[in-house]
Chain A
Amino acid sequence: MLGLRELIILLVLFPFLAGGLLSFFPNRKIHTFGVMASGTLLGLGAFLLIPRVPFSFSPDLPGPLVPAALVEAADAFLLLLFLYYGFKHRRPLIQLLSGTQLLLLLFIPFYWPAPASGHPVFFGDRLSLLLVLIISLIGPLIVWQALPYLENHERHLQLKATRRHRFFPVLLLFLGAMNGLVLSNDLRVFYFFFEVTTLCSFWLIGHDRTAESVNKALRALWMNSLAGLILLLALAACLQNYETLHLQEIIRGSSAGAWGLLPLALLCLSGLIKSAQFPFQNWLLGAMVAPTPVSALLHSSTMVKIGVYLVLRLTPALQGTLLSLGLAVFGAFSFLAAAALAVGQSNGKKVLAYSTISNLGLMFALAGLNTPEALSAALLLVLFHALTKALLFLGVGVIEQRLDSRDIEDMRGLYARTPLTALIMVLGILMMIMPPFGLVLGKWMALEAATRNLPVVLLLAAGSALTVMYWARWAGTLLSQPFSGPFSPEKQPFLTWTALTALGLGGLFLGVSAPWLYSWLLTGAIVPEIQLPYTQRGGGLYNSYGAFAVLPLSLVALLGLGASIFFMRWARKGNLVSPYLGGLETENPGIFRGPLNRPRQAGAKNYYLSTLFNERRFVFWFNLTAVGLWLLILAGGW
């Protein structure tokens, strides 16, 4: 058995090393082997970590290497790199943000001398473990699928020399940094990994090096640099207020101090930016210029989950504060606003992006509500959102390479062209909105937990209706005419199918076993002595006021789905006719006799209600509202 030290090295340090090594070998076979092997090792490491939690751990470094100084130097190096990019691309904002951070970084240890050490650098409980499992199991699947994807991508772009050694190493680095981030207890270490994820997303979004992608990457860089700056300010405030940088201690000993909860408010705000909440949603929307696996990674298992993790981690310290209430209202608002903007989109990737922002909003709302019920819902949502969103993004990636389009209108009748991919997308969409799948279980818990808070429940109810609208529309479009006849799955690379089926089946299986998973997960997550609000009985979850029989309902739902598919296949043998076109049908399906008896193609497009749910019309007001709510959160910290 590996010791804790070796495990952390495997989960955090090893991806850095593997990535660094791979960046020197652009060869395809070496890359395939390296990526497959590191992914497997990461997954194994995550599994081996399961019996180890909860734990606290400090690495003992040899002689002259002082951890604090080492981290400080690494931070400074990263900031210099950002500064370099700021000057290279002539972005004063990035120069300003990273310059300020650099000054603060030098200034902090001078003004607030580092407290005596002896606290664990790493800390893990079931919350960290959940995140590690998501990062190290879903992450590698996405990275594996990226192997065939990038081959296609580079062929399509007709690159002279491959750039895969600028891609896969960064993906691995990203996973390592994420693991480090969710396991670190020392905020200085946390800040380092935070900045590494900023760097990785900057590199990945700008991977294609087109003018557009560089622009979007720089936007992500300045927004996330702002998050870094706020985090650094939070560090200073923590030192001033609590005289410590150890997360667990801060959570336990908060509420005291001259600045009240200000450090915690700043931590939450930096998390909100990382999670692309209003008004900083643009960096995530821009990120879709990158190759699709990058989006899948950013949206599901990495980056945007940082904010949710951080806020969930802080919830014990926020109980019953105005800050917590502000977060709840902000999150619910974000849930509704992003869903409304998603309704107005026909760009599939943008729908997914807004849906991510919306779901993250829901998680923040739950963290803000801060009851055991709400936190249960949040944990389930974190897990199932990661699974489902990864599946949907990978599906869109496959479709995009096939159709050369990401527009939902172009996916009309996709079932006839790529039946299996279309079905997997439909499965993903059903997993988003159909009970008893995990996300809906989470949403159900969320609504029941939110009911005592009227503004929140109102926003959530309205947002749920909008959510159903944009998903149902998409699923129907995929299965639209023409129909292809017998089902024959299309050819796709093995790794693509592996990733898609693993995510789909994993989602189904975990969804059915959610009641057990829930009890296991919540015991010892966030606070060690948390009371389980729901009890598991016969595969269902029950509390004093609600009941959701997950397992029985799953069986009935699967039966219903199976029967529906059986009858669909049976209907094939029935009488198939051409659609009704007002009595003007011709022998060609979909063609009608138009004016002067000319044949005309019949067609209808989806409702996007773009006059109402218009980005240009609403974004300003949404951002303005969000700024107001940010100020509320900040005021809650004072």
Chain B
Amino acid sequence: MGRIFYTALGLLAAPFLGGLLVGLDRILTARLQSRIGPPLFQPFYDLGKLWGKSRTLVNPWQAFGVHGYLAAASIALALFGLQSDLLLILFVQAVGTLFLVIGALASGSPYSQIGAHRELLQVLAYEPLLLLVPAGIYLETHSFRIVDLYQGGQPLLFRLPLLFLVLPLVLTIKLRKSPFDFSASHQTHQELVRGILTDYSGPYLCLIEVAHYFEMVLILGICSLFWTPGWAGQILLPAAAFLVTILIDNSSARLNWRWLWGAAWGIGLPLCLLNMIWIVWGY
């Protein structure tokens, strides 16, 4: 019963945590670019403003996509809170992106259409890596269930260091950070305007942001699994991954999908594989 209570609490807290992280990101990014940047709570002001706007859409199926995305992202996070099966959580999380893509394809705008396809390419790039993370964890702990990770033993990081290295890469793609921000860049002055998000506005965009926060918290939560049990590491590891992502974002220009794919499959997959080979035959 306690776990359900904490999960509900976590679900409520996740948007706040996500918003704070994004606020922090914006300040850090601004400082790196010699600007002062917005206040820490700016993302919440943005959300409030979006929520107050009128409901405007191109095609009602967009609304279907948005709510499906939000539902899947929150269910995935809830399952994480319930310490369920990690692979199942990733499957549910993938469905969220599927709905987002369906919504974006519902609009006839070429910006939105191309953005949706690029999002699918991003999924193609990171999905295998993300699926191999629970596989690697299983090889080490003989379980896919998060609850079993808290049974003690040494932190996973020592046994799965290469697998952990893959996570900042996934995070960069998933958060649409440079150099892999090509389905929807945070800077709107480029060829695709807002890409997959182009034809979303007002409350719908607000919901997409919230769902995005859920996903962000989920991936950072997966980062934290590499240091269980133990509080310091569980906070430090995701923080480090997040920081690396921001640094990469600010020090690189966007690349095309071949680079994205090459980086993810060419670097990420070998890293996963090496680590898994080490686990299987290393002893």
Residues of A within 8 A of B (CB): 415, 433-435, 440, 443-444, 447-448, 451-452, 454, 457-458, 461-462, 464-466, 468-469, 471-473, 475-477, 479-483, 544-549, 553, 556-557, 559-561, 563-565, 567-572, 574-582, 589-590, 602-604, 606-607
Contacts and interface: CB of A to CB of B under 8 A. Distances in A.
A464 B128 contact: yes
Given A464-B131, A557-B75, A580-B193, A479 B105 contact: yes
Nearest to B56: A575
29 contacts: A433-B95, A433-B98, A435-B92, A447-B131, A447-B135, A448-B144, A454-B280, A461-B127, A462-B128, A462-B265, A468-B94, A469-B121, A473-B105, A480-B108, A545-B138, A546-B85, A547-B84, A549-B84, A557-B71, A559-B71, A561-B68, A563-B67, A563-B71, A564-B63, A565-B64, A578-B58, A580-B58, A582-B193, A603-B108
Contact of A458 (B61, B106, B269): B269
Contact of A480 (B97, B106, B117): B106
A476 B105 contact: yes
Contacts of A549: 84
Given A578-B58, A602-B109, A472 B67 contact: no
A580 B198 contact: yes
A483 B71 contact: no
Contact of A567 (B56, B63, B97, B127): B63
A546 B145 contact: yes
Contacts of B111: 580, 582
Given A435-B91, A546-B85, A571-B63, A466 B124 contact: yes
B123 A568 contact: no
Nearest to B143: A545
Given A476-B106, A548-B85, A481 B128 contact: no
A451 B103 CA distance: 34
Interface in B100-144: 101-114, 116-118, 120-121, 123-124, 127-128, 131-132, 135, 138-139, 142-144
Given A560-B71, A561-B68, 14 more contacts: A433-B94, A433-B95, A444-B87, A458-B128, A458-B132, A462-B128, A464-B131, A465-B128, A476-B103, A547-B144, A571-B57, A577-B58, A578-B58, A579-B112
Interface string B140-159: 00111100100000000000
B106 A479 contact: yes
B71 A476 contact: no
Contacts of B139: 451-452
A572 B60 contact: yes
Contacts of A444: 85, 87-88, 91
A481 B107 contact: yes
B197 to A, nearest CB: 11
Contacts of B110: 581, 602-604
Contacts of B107: 480-481, 579-580
Interface residues of B, number: 72
Contact of A457 (B62, B108, B132): B132
A472 B131 CA distance: 18
Given A468-B94, A574-B56, A560 B105 contact: no
A451 B75 contact: no
Contacts of B63: 564, 567-568, 570-571
Given A468-B127, A545-B142, A563-B71, A607 B121 contact: yes
Nearest to B198: A580
B57 A576 contact: yes
A191 B49 CA distance: 71
Contact of A547 (B85, B95, B105): B85
A27 B211 CA distance: 59
Contacts of B265: 462
B276 interface: yes
A76 to B, nearest CB: 51
B109 A580 contact: yes
Contacts of A548: 85, 88
A575 B275 CA distance: 52
Contacts of A577: 56-58
Contacts of B280: 452, 454
A483 B107 CA distance: 9
B244 interface: no
Contact of B95 (A435, A462, A480): A435
Contact of B273 (A454, A556, A567, A572): A454
B206 interface: no
A127 to B, nearest CB: 26
A482 B71 CA distance: 25
Contacts of A559: 71
Contacts of A462: 128, 265, 269
A481 B59 contact: yes
B267 interface: no
B57 A574 contact: yes
A470 B108 CA distance: 19
Given A560-B68, A574-B54, A589-B108, A483 B116 contact: no
A475 B94 CA distance: 15
Interface in B196-250: 198-199
B72 interface: yes
Interface string B45-88: 00000000011111111111111100110010000000011011
Pick the 4 closest A-B CB pairs, nearest first: A476-B105, A560-B71, A579-B109, A574-B55
Nearest to B95: A434
B127 A547 contact: no
B277 interface: yes
Given A435-B95, A546-B144, A461 B64 contact: no
A572 B106 CA distance: 14
Given A545-B138, A574-B57, A476 B145 contact: no
A469 B199 contact: no
A461 B88 CA distance: 13
A561 B272 CA distance: 35
A221 B113 CA distance: 43
Contacts of A561: 68, 71
A304 B105 CA distance: 33
A344 to B, nearest CB: 13
B100 to A, nearest CB: 9
Nearest to B74: A560
A473 B68 contact: no
A564 B67 CA distance: 5
Given A466-B124, A564-B67, A571 B55 contact: yes
